[in-house]
Copies of this chain bind each other. A is one copy, B any other.
Amino acid sequence: MATVTDTPIRIGVMGCAEIARTVSRAIDLAPNATIAAVASRSLEKAKTFATANGYKQSVKIHGSYESILEDPEVDALYIPLPTSLHVEWAVRAAESGKHILLEKPVAMNVAEFDKIVAACEKNGVQMMDGTMWAHHPRTAKLKEFLFDSDLFLIGHALQIHSCFSLAVDEDFLKNDIRVKPNLDGLGALGDLGWYAIRAALFANNFELPKIVAASPGTVLNEAGVILSCGASLSWEDGRTASIYCSFLANVGMEISAVGTNGTLCVQDFVIPFEETHATFTTCLKSGFNDPWVSRPTEHSVKTEIPQEACMVREFARLVGEIKNKGAEPDGFWPNISRKTQLVVDAIKESVEKNCQQISLSGR
């Protein structure tokens, strides 16, 4: 088998959101990807962004989204546009043959997302969402503790609590797109809850819960956008999760899992305290009469490159497989994006129906 040194995957940045700064750096750091182009609604904005982020002269500047879609020297697009624009531009990107790294939440609802997936499948392009923590080596280690058939350390994750909160300022609460119904209308649920939901799915091996119910106490802004909410998820066999997301509380990024054989705790699951490594604690096979017969152990997992660069590297690897080796797109990533979106939708529906239980059977 011949080894080919493939050229880096050429990524275009479609939109100049704040998060695009982080991902631009990540593309730089990923060994198999390069920034090839940037687009905004005006040439001026795109130029300013390129300069501010130290883009090379060779990076092409596009003054419209249409223009970057037609750029033959772009393999894939990173799309950090407001959520309400995802369905239009992700579908158009797929139809232009571009692979898609799509910011979360992936769509306003799963019906929209299904259009994106259909377009990707039809055009043979890879789709992945921008959930960075999924790509940290720590996450792989957590998976071992949760599911490795030899270790089976935690056993069934009977209860997961996951929380992502960020205390935003007054300006954000008035002006940010994430509090505007026509832009990122899923609010804190789409922006932060997405991660907490993903954590609950992750700890249940991406099995979709049977029932989802919003918890009493949702906080909405005047336009009806969720600023803070919680929800309960339940699976068969008594497995449950509680999730919480809020724009109104101090930074919290916790996963706490209680399983049949042990517990697991992560304090910084969305953004690790340190860029070079990340920690978590486990406490295994504690006793009944002597509860602390075993004590929590801290584990530390190194990462060569930051988790967002790991994400770009994995995305570019999959795109490379397709581009250079004729592989099929990997269905895992759109599949878990869809499940996350389904739970987002169900929580929103439950919020609107005064915390009614929503069944996910058949969805």
Interface residue ranges, A against B (CB under 8 Å): 154-155, 158-159, 161, 163, 165-169, 172, 210-211, 213, 215-217, 219, 228, 230, 232-235, 238-240, 242, 244, 246, 248-254, 256, 258-263, 265, 267-268, 271, 273, 283-288, 291-292, 295-296, 354-355, 357
Smallest CB–CB gap between A197 and chain B, Å? 14
- A168 close to B215 (CB less than 8 A): no
- A246 close to B258 (CB less than 8 A): yes
Knowing A238-B219, A258-B252 touch, does A228 contact B273 (C-beta < 8 A)? no
Knowing A230-B232, A250-B283 touch, does A165 contact B258 (C-beta < 8 A)? yes
Nearest 6 A-B pairs (CB), nearest first?
A217-B234, A215-B232, A251-B286, A217-B240, A216-B234, A242-B242
- B273 close to A295 (CB less than 8 A): yes
Which of B155, B238, B252, B292 has a CB less than 8 Å from the CB of A251? B292
- A167 CA to B290 CA in the complex, in Å? 11
Contacts of A219 in B (CB 8 A): 238
- B213 close to A215 (CB less than 8 A): yes
- A217 close to B228 (CB less than 8 A): no
Which of B169, B238, B252, B256 has a CB less than 8 Å from the CB of A254? B256
Knowing A256-B256, A260-B167, A283-B251 touch, does A215 contact B244 (C-beta < 8 A)? no
- A291 CA to B270 CA in the complex, in Å? 10
- A250 close to B244 (CB less than 8 A): no
Smallest CB–CB gap between A299 and chain B, Å? 15
Beyond the given pairs A232-B232, A271-B291, 4 more chain A to chain B contacts, judged by CB atoms under 8 angstroms and listed by A's residue number, are A158-B248, A161-B256, A217-B239, A251-B292
Candidate in A172, A234, A251 with the most chain B CB atoms within 10 angstroms: A251
